[in-house]
Structure 1
Amino acid sequence: MRRLVLLFAALWLAAAGGARAAAFADWSAVVVAGDWHASDGGATEGFDNARRDVTLALGRAGFQPANIRQFSVRPERYKDTNPGKSDLRGIYEAMVDVSGKAPGGCLFYLTSHGLPQGAQVDQRILAPGVLATMLDQTCGKRPTVVVISACFSGVFVPALAKSNRMVLTAARPDRTSFGCGQANKYPYFDDCFLASMPQARDFGALANATRDCVRTREIAEKMSPPSEPQIWVGAELRPMLPLYAFEAPGTARKP
């Protein structure tokens, strides 16, 4: 009996290891930098730095580079990553295309400025209801992770909250986030997301680590009031999140 139990355990571990390595192989991802202006109106590379490096981090975590689309307000500046132009129609069309090729799950990541009405995408505002419709029409009931790095981004949670989704935002609905100055490499939230990802096992752990990192940094730099990043996980997705594990650093592919 003991040998049988050990055999089943070995088979389960082998299967789990295979699933872990392939967890995001059939997921689509869209990563958007929605602006290029710093908080004082000058120029910043912060949003595009985050777009580029989040894309690289997703590749290391197990996403297939062919299934990731990037967008920038100034795509002509970034020949190395060849992003598309950040406009809502083009982003939606890319979501349609890539979700059709990678039907396992969806990730949407936006880094930009935010307002109580939504997040900036070039000269337009992406409203929570519009993003909800875009996700409904492309990702449907698939496991979906949405990350919004912007001031007031908690405003997206009610519109996006469905049982198959996880939503992580840089701030609560009535708070700003920090780190959008000309000298910042990334906004604070994106910096914490990227710094936490190598140690996180899955998106649930990453969300908690990112929130803790933001809190620690804001306290250290005396930023007030705190942004209070928001985490929402639907009941259907919650028990599944640990099954969608990031690749171990030693086995991750280079994008």
Structure 2
Amino acid sequence: MVRAAFIVCLVWLGASPALGQSRFDGWASAIIAADWRTSDGQPIEAFDNARRDLTSGFLAAGFRRADMVDYTLRPDAEPSTSAEAAVEGFAEVAARATRGCFLYVSSHGSPQGINFGPTSRVSPTSMARLVNEVCGERPTVVVVSACFSGVFVDGLSGPNRMVMTAAKRDRASFGCGEDAVYPYYDGCVIQSLPTATDFIALANAARTCVKAREEAEGLTPASEPQVFIGPNMQLLLPTLRFNRPES
């Protein structure tokens, strides 16, 4: 059973953080590598590599380790995390860190949804229900990195939401083969994080990076990563600047 406490905090919008603080203090975050296989079922490291380096990148950008969980759902991992435990872990951290929500899931996908562990699949309807229950009306950013992940945009959209996906609803994404270091979209997010000023800049840089890599490698049809930004988030996101060493 998902448990969450919902508190809407508006007074801080646009306020500058105190010295030593981040604009993402009080944000709950979860980064989940939800698959570990190629399309042929062979084990690969790309999803877990992405989880590891996305976690480091977003911590450097200002998210707090105390309010972040990261999981791999591969069954041979140490420790092993079930799909249910990952959802519960995100709900638990969101119950105490109530200023905002950030969820990043990297996996294989289809028009019906994404793989979520050895036997589970998360549909767009199920994902929307999860985010509604855990995050409520607080500012929320959701990234779904998978083939056909554009199918998640409609259900996740809302005034308080930003949604980033690795592909259009009818397109595959790339980089899940045995020789891949990261899925291409995740790699572009990791590459772009150190210089992006905020989530809007990050989404634009990742799309540009994916397009350039696909064109350079002659990959077609293009995955065309998607971005949705609700009206409330259009005002808020420019104030949520990532931490930088000089700041």
Written as runs of structure 1 = structure 2, the 5 A alignment for 1:49-60 is 49-60=49-60
Written as runs of structure 1 = structure 2, the 5 A alignment for 1:235-246 is 235-246=231-242
Written as runs of structure 1 = structure 2, the 5 A alignment for 1:144-223 is 144-223=140-219
Aligned counterparts of 2:21 and 2:165: Cα–Cα separation in 1: 27
Q: Which amino acid aligns with 1:55?
A: T
SS in 1 for 2:40: coil
Change (3 A) 1:60 1:75: farther
Q: Please tell me whether the aligned partners of residues 17 and 23 of structure 2 are also in contact (alpha carbons under 8 angstroms).
A: no
Aligned counterparts of 1:241 and 1:19: Cα–Cα separation in 2: 20
Aligned residues: 232
Computed over aligned residues only, the root mean square deviation of the Cα atoms, in angstroms, reads 1.7
Give the match for residue 77 of structure 1: 77
Change (3 A) 1:19 1:209: farther
Q: Please tell me whether the aligned partners of residues 198 and 249 of structure 1 are also in contact (alpha carbons under 8 angstroms).
A: no
Change (3 A) 1:141 1:44: same
Give the match for residue 105 of structure 1: 100
- Indicate yes or no: 2:227 matched with 1:231: yes
Q: Which runs of 5+ in 1 are unaligned?
A: 1-14
Aligned counterparts of 2:105 and 2:46: Cα–Cα separation in 1: 12
Structure with max Cα Rg: 1
Q: Which runs of 5+ in 2 are unaligned?
A: 1-14
Q: Please tell me whether the aligned partners of residues 34 and 74 of structure 2 are also in contact (alpha carbons under 8 angstroms).
A: no
Displacement, 1:86? Answer: 4.0
Higher helix share: 1
Change (3 A) 1:93 1:218: same
TM-score by length of 1: 0.87
Q: Please tell me whether the aligned partners of residues 29 and 107 of structure 1 are also in contact (alpha carbons under 8 angstroms).
A: yes
Written as runs of structure 1 = structure 2, the 5 A alignment for 1:7-46 is 16=16, 18=18, 21-46=21-46
- The structure 2 residue matched to 1:118, chosen from 99, 113, 116, is 113
